[in-house]
Amino acid sequence: MKKGWLLLLLLVMQVDLMAQRSSVLPADKWVDSVFSTLSDNEKIAQLMVIRSSGLKDGTPVFFDEQVMAAVRKYNIGGICLFQGGPVQHAQRINSIQSAAKTPVLVTVDGEWGLGMRFDSVLSLPRQMMMAAVPDATIMYDYGKIVAAQCTRMGIQVNYAPVVDINNNPDNPVINDRSFGENKYRVAELGLQYMKGLQDHGVMACAKHFPGHGDVAVDSHKDLPIILKTRAELDSMELYPFNVLFKAGVGSVMIAHLSVPAIDNTANLPTSLSKKNIDGLLRNELGFQGLSFTDALEMQGVAKYFPDGEGSARSLIAGNDMLCLPGDIPGSIKRIRKAIKKKNLSWNDLNSRVRKVLYAKYQYGLANWMPIDLHHLADDLNKDVPRMRRRAAEQGLTLLRNDNSTIPFPSGTTRRVAYIGIGLTQDNRFAERIRTDYNAHTYYFDYDMDSVKANALLALIQNRYDVVIMAFHNYNRRPANNFGISNAAVYLANKVSQQQKTITVFFGNPYAIKNACNNSTLIAAYEDDAIVHETTADLLNGKFQSKGKLPVNVCNDYPYGSGIVHQRALPDAWAGSLGFNYKKLQAIDSICENAIAQKAIPGCVVLVAKDGKIAYERSFGRYAYTDSTPVYCETLYDLASVTKVMAATLAVMKLYDEGRLDLAKTLGDYLPWTKSSNKAGLVIKDVLLHEAGLKDFIPFYKETIDPADGVPSGAVYGYKPDSLHTVRVADNLYMRTDFTDTLYQRILQSKLTERGKYIYSDNDFIFLGKVVEAITGKPLDQYVQETFYAPLSLTFTGFRPRLRYPKNYIAPTEMEPLFRRQLIQGDVHDPGAAMFGGVAGHAGLFSNAYELAVLSQLLLNKGTINGVFFFKPATIELFTAYNSGISRRGLGFDKPEKDNASRSEPYPSRSVSAATFGHTGFTGTCIWIDPQFNLTYIFLSNRVNNNGDPGRFSKMNVRPNIQEVIYGALEGK
């Protein structure tokens, strides 16, 4: 009996053991197997990160024998990439990983991307510029780009973000590497950068703990001292680290600082302080991720702890990995000596080795694949220019604008001079100023003296109406006033005193302290061709400034300074509005692919929810052959969106006021129709496209001379005069009396079966005339006075060329058959053009944001910002299904009623039945979903430069984006 129980017990134990073995995680299995192969010295070496550079004593070297020797001899744990080319580094990494007994953790100090370290790779903007951008989303996208670069290069850890608060403008080592001086902003942007990296497969590293911002000594050269109380540290320096720790940042880098409030041991850096690492970091703040020391070769440590002593003291203090320990055998010897003296235990060291191995497994080194060398530099660079432009567009900061000097449109007749301070020859900004304003250019570099400054002052005095000055090529670091000479400062101030000036600083914004009294002032943060182009566009007025200073530069311009346009709909982090931002990012890929496939040259996409902007982004350029970038403010021809955002709004308002009866007929409002078969058409049927009107009349065809195919001289003139007052396009004006002919053609057109759905432009041509008949005002004037002006919509309206320069407007098409020219700012629809650019079916221009305001008015049931426009019942009536035979509302388009069962749902599968809006022929749409309080706007000029205008529709660009939006809604 006892034997039977014993056998049963053994069987149970065996089953239990097998169950335990089967439950071992792959990570545990891999870590255990690798750990078991390591000798004691190799375990120590696994905690070291050594330098791998393409330069040695300033000379390029293709292969670093010392690194390979260290890998083979010591089985070191990691490398940190410094200078060199991407292919060179990739070949090294491939060789190192192939030779390594244990996969090597590859790290980089790439705060602004791999361009910070690699040649032939473009740099992203530094953190100071990114902090000027109001939307923190940009740092998530920035992190995603850097993560893509790192994964392409076989890098697992990026030593970023810097979350030091730069509250000392004389900081010689952090400065513009920081997100600024506001702890909340630093934490917010650092958090998004971290998420962008880690969501896309790269470990982030918060640095430099416990905070390196308030120093005046460079820790590369000596040990900085921070004399703050612990309470001050808790409330300021430690705040961003706490935020990132709680959010799950993978690692932290420990600074070389002397902070007596943490550890008052003389000359003991925080990187070697047990009170700082084990005490503050681990026990008090609860951080359990990897901790890296800052480079142990820096004098902040090496001056006091040379020859491997710093390595040993770092591990004793509680660090996991030793960055750039220098003397590898010496460090191993010192560490083993510390273990022998029981200052450090093998158990403690082993746990750190396992921690490092788990990180290697987590970031893919258990299944390492060689780096593909093909197109490597192109892949690393592909997303950088767009981010640089986006940062410039959103970050440029207008600090002062006396007499509303900006916008300063190109083509001015005023006399303009440009002074390039710090230049000896043209750069892109100088070229743009000369091109845009026919400016005379002068250069004043930092080697010139006050004698030459006075000579230049005398030369320009009283010769120019406006002088544009820009500071270029000054140093990033504050020493010696950023390298800006006294003569340059003297020149800038004198010019500002005697002339109307615009002053731009292309670089570290702290340098603005040299010109705080200048009349019109811009902080541009970076000094590259993309920022030059974008700044020139800001001067031109193609977009509005959005940036705010991330630091205090003088009394007149403290933190947060910046002239920005106050918007009725504020921006918000998409996550706070119920979106999964990572999923929402797929919009970018759809737009970029559509541009790459030449379905569209450019576009703007806006998503709003709950009265806030969750996503607003521009892509591409005006045309495939035009380098002008699209901005979010770019004006587009809305095509048939005019029907809902002009004519239908007007009809709704008149119905709301009791001035229009949907049951009445065209003849009741338009006496000139009474002799025709159009007089009896009911207004409601016209709104539903069920009145039987012909879909489209090509009015222009009868005005084309059959002999040569050009507009007939009997109808058109090439300049306006008493007979030709109707502008149709540049240098093309129609006879005034021919407008009557257009209406006669509509009246004479055949009616089809009433009660049948036929989408018709003529319906809305009539509705526009009904609005004019009731109000006694042209349609464009009525909607301007009733809607656009009260809502402060300055860009929305008909005939934009009367209000804005042509280059504010995306060109619609090189029209081949009628006007035979590039249509830019004149309505694309030929019929609307022949009505002078104002019609109920086409002619409205706007940008995405202003359309979103109109959308929100409707979502709010007729009231916005305390101003009443409609009764809720009116909106509910017009936006509901109103037809038994089609999907239409009154004026508004709606989803198909059987959308769920359709193979090609409209406008996309996931919209609710409450959705209403419209699409436009030129590549536009607006869709408004009350069920989710959601607006989706897409604007493009798909027909421009396009040999296959149908490609846009075939690619389902608009519906695919709409599906991404709904797919990103959490809990939908």
Whole-model pTM: value is 0.92
Among 790, 802, 849, 813, which Cα is nearest to 543's? 849
219-250 confidence digits (pLDDT tens): 788 889 999 999 999 999 999 999 999 999 99
Range with the lowest mean pLDDT among 166-175, 299-308, 447-456, 848-857?
Answer: 299-308
Residues 393 and 396: their CA atoms lie apart, in Å, by 6
**Cβ pair 259, 270 in contact under 8 A:** yes
Asked whether residue 16 carries a pLDDT value surpassing 60, the answer given is no
Tokens encoding 24: 């071992």
Average of per-residue pLDDT across 87-99: 95
**Cβ pair 844, 796 in contact under 8 A:** yes
Residues 336 and 154: their CA atoms lie apart, in Å, by 32
Asked whether residue 554 carries a pLDDT value surpassing 50, the answer given is yes
Residues 83 and 115: their CA atoms lie apart, in Å, by 10
Residues 437 and 461: their CA atoms lie apart, in Å, by 18
Residues 653 and 871: their CA atoms lie apart, in Å, by 9
Give 115's DSSP letter. Answer: G
Range with the lowest mean pLDDT among 888-902, 913-927, 946-960?
Answer: 946-960
904-940 confidence digits (pLDDT tens): 999 999 999 999 999 999 999 999 999 999 999 999 9
Question: For 437-494, where are the E strands, in sequence order?
Answer: 440-444, 466-471
850-882 confidence digits (pLDDT tens): 999 999 999 999 999 899 999 999 999 999 999
How much is the pLDDT for 414?
Answer: 94
pLDDT band, very low/low/confident/very high, at 949 (cuts 50, 70, 90): confident
Asked whether residue 951 carries a pLDDT value surpassing 50, the answer given is yes
Give 787's DSSP letter. Answer: I
Asked whether residue 21 carries a pLDDT value surpassing 60, the answer given is no
756-785 confidence digits (pLDDT tens): 999 999 999 999 999 999 999 999 999 999
Instruction: Kindly give the interhelix angle for 957-968 and 586-596, rounded to the nearest 10 degrees.
Output: 170
How much is the pLDDT for 66?
Answer: 87
Tokens encoding 234: 């808790």
Sign of CA dihedral 28, 34, 37, 38: negative
**Cβ pair 865, 568 in contact under 8 A:** yes
**Cβ pair 153, 89 in contact under 8 A:** yes
pLDDT band, very low/low/confident/very high, at 18 (cuts 50, 70, 90): very low
Residues 311 and 614: their CA atoms lie apart, in Å, by 48
How much is the pLDDT for 5?
Answer: 47
470-500 confidence digits (pLDDT tens): 999 999 999 999 999 999 999 999 999 988 9
Residues 230 and 114: their CA atoms lie apart, in Å, by 36
- Full 3-state SS string of 32-95: HHHHCCCCHHHHHHCCEEEEECCEECCEECCCCHHHHHHHHHHCCCEEEECCECHHHHHHHHHH
Dihedral in degrees, nearest 10, Cα atoms 440, 444, 448, 454: 50
How much is the pLDDT for 63?
Answer: 59
Task: Report which of residues 946 and 368 the model is more confident about.
Answer: 368
103-147 confidence digits (pLDDT tens): 999 999 999 999 999 999 999 999 999 999 999 999 999 999 999
Residues 327 and 301: their CA atoms lie apart, in Å, by 14
% residues pLDDT > 70 (the chain): 97
Task: Report which of residues 63 and 529 the model is more confident about.
Answer: 529
Among 930, 936, 928, which Cα is nearest to 891's? 928
**Cβ pair 453, 406 in contact under 8 A:** no
Average of per-residue pLDDT across 213-224: 85
Asked whether residue 947 carries a pLDDT value surpassing 90, the answer given is no
Residues 232 and 195: their CA atoms lie apart, in Å, by 28
Asked whether residue 20 carries a pLDDT value surpassing 50, the answer given is no
How much is the pLDDT for 846?
Answer: 98
Among 242, 237, 250, 249, which Cα is nearest to 164's? 237
Asked whether residue 895 carries a pLDDT value surpassing 90, the answer given is yes
**Cβ pair 55, 83 in contact under 8 A:** yes
Give 462's DSSP letter. Answer: T
> Residue 818: which region, alpha, beta or left (left: phi > 0; alpha: psi -120 to 50)?
alpha
Question: Tokens 């338009």 map to which residue?
Answer: 670
